[in-house]
Amino acid sequence: MSWNHRVVRHRDPLPKKMAKKLTEHYPDGYVEWYSIHEVFYDKKGKVNGIAETPATIFCEENFRKKEMVWVLNAMKKCLSKPIIDFNTSKEIK
């Protein structure tokens, strides 16, 4: 199994109380937002899991600048890859 960072699209339905007021801005009734997540792949390279929460930048115990630089560079690489839909785990762009 392998993993990397990927941009993930989330589509959340508008709350029913707000849907009528916001249809001009969200005509399909959904709010879309994007974040970077850790994505996991099976042996064939197919997505088999997406971390539920967006990725964060941290290092364990003692501050190590190298670790944070590595994570930032890995996150930067994901910007050139297709976006993955959170609900379907399929590439969309």
In a domain, 33, yes or no: yes
In a domain, 91, yes or no: no
In a domain, 90, yes or no: no
Say what the pLDDT of residue 48 is.
Answer: 95
Lookup result for tokens 């969309």? 92
Say what the pLDDT of residue 29 is.
Answer: 78
Lookup result for tokens 């609900």? 87
In a domain, 54, yes or no: yes
Say what the pLDDT of residue 28 is.
Answer: 81
In a domain, 93, yes or no: no
In a domain, 9, yes or no: yes
| pLDDT profile of the chain (93 residues), mean per 10 | 95 78 76 95 96 87 80 94 96 86
Distance of alpha carbon 84 from alpha carbon 2, whole angstroms: 16
In a domain, 56, yes or no: yes
Range of the domain at 35: 2-85
Pick from 37, 28, 49, 29: nearest CA to 9 = 37
Report strand pairing: 2-13 vs 84-85: parallel
Q: Domains in the chain: how many in total?
A: 1
pTM exceeding the 0.75 threshold for the entire prediction: yes
